Amino acid sequence: MTLRSILVPVRGDGKGEGVLDHALSLAKRHNAHLEVLHCRPKPEDMIPYGVPLPSSLRKSIVGSASSLADEEEGKVRKLFDDYCASHGVPEVDNFPWPQDAVSATWREATGKQANVIGLRGRLVDLIAVPQPDYEQNLGLNTLQAALLESGKLVLMCPAKPVSEVGAKVAIAWNGSGEASRALTAGLPILKEADAVVLLASSEKAQPISAEEAKIYLESHGVSCSVQDFKRGSSSVGEVLLAGAKKAGADCLLMGAYGQSRQRELILGGVTQYVVDHADLPILLMH
């Protein structure tokens, strides 16, 4: 399997260009196609839930919401067109797209972004989303929908400049089913990487060792090394991020939400720590 399509949701929050930079960097290694998706809200969603309103006021709110949606759509579409032009990415309206170069398509959908991504993400190879911004209360629902509803690999992009994604990949390995799914889902990326390193704890035996995972990767033509780590008094998430940085990786591939998502959000967990603190791109698979 190859990496052929990357879904990139964008909206007028100033984060679209950064996510596109990450997605484009990865796409260039695979001649992948970028499906850039803007979701315009339903005008009815702007009406306060459960609050009775006169029909005239309801009509006015719906009309204003439609006008605002049209305005934002136009602004974000222009940003997309300008981005493609400045980066030399050809825009393709319909399939088929080029197989030997990066290309991009603009898509519009109506509805809440998280809901749309959970569905549209099921027929792409990867979904690129921004790291959640808790101060602005943006991005967490989209990340969770991409992870938990699409069944696809998700690239979480921090708000930092990027030069490479997928050249040197670190893999968080603990022998779990989530780690195994991430390993398999990431094979197209790992096969095109210049270097791959497995990060595994040497403090206790894993149900499936890093050496066994190494053999599996090598059977698929992926050369890799193993880097042991000791947790000590640090959290596993903290050690993984430090280990990826020590290995010189430009991204970290890991299984996501081994516990229930609700439990991790309440009690904390490896996934949640990495989501909250990552300063490099994270490839996540649930």
* pLDDT tens digits, 66-106: 777 778 888 999 999 999 999 999 999 988 999 999 999 99
In a domain, 162, yes or no: no
The confidence band for 203, taking pLDDT boundaries of 50, 70 and 90, is confident
Domain that holds residue 16: 5-157
The answer as to whether 72 is a domain residue is: yes
Kindly indicate the confidence band of residue 145, based on its pLDDT and cuts at 50, 70 and 90: very high
Q: What is the mean pLDDT of residues 236-260?
A: 90
Whole-prediction pTM: 0.89
Q: Specify whether 226 is located in the same domain as 262.
A: yes
Cα gap 113→139, rounded to integer Å = 9
Residue 253 in tokens: 């591939």
Per-residue model confidence (pLDDT) at position 263: 46
150 has which bridge partners?
none
Q: Are residue 139 and residue 185 in the same domain, yes or no?
A: no
- Indicate if 152 and 12 belong to the same structural domain: yes
**pLDDT score of 59:** 61
CA 83 to chain centroid: 20
Q: Tens digits of per-residue pLDDT, 12-59?
A: 888 889 999 999 999 999 999 999 999 987 766 555 555 565 676 556
Let me know whether 137 and 194 are in one domain: no
Identify whether residues 112 and 16 lie together within a single domain: yes
One-letter identity of residue 129: V
pLDDT score of 280 more than 90: yes
Indicate the angle between helix axes 177-185 and 210-219, nearest 10 degrees: 20
Residue 163 lies in a domain: no
CA distance readout (Å), 7 to 36, 96, 149, 163, 169 = 6, 16, 14, 20, 21
> Of residues 153 and 43, which shows the higher confidence score?
153
Reduced to 3 states (helix: H, G, I; strand: E, B; else coil), residue 275 is: helix
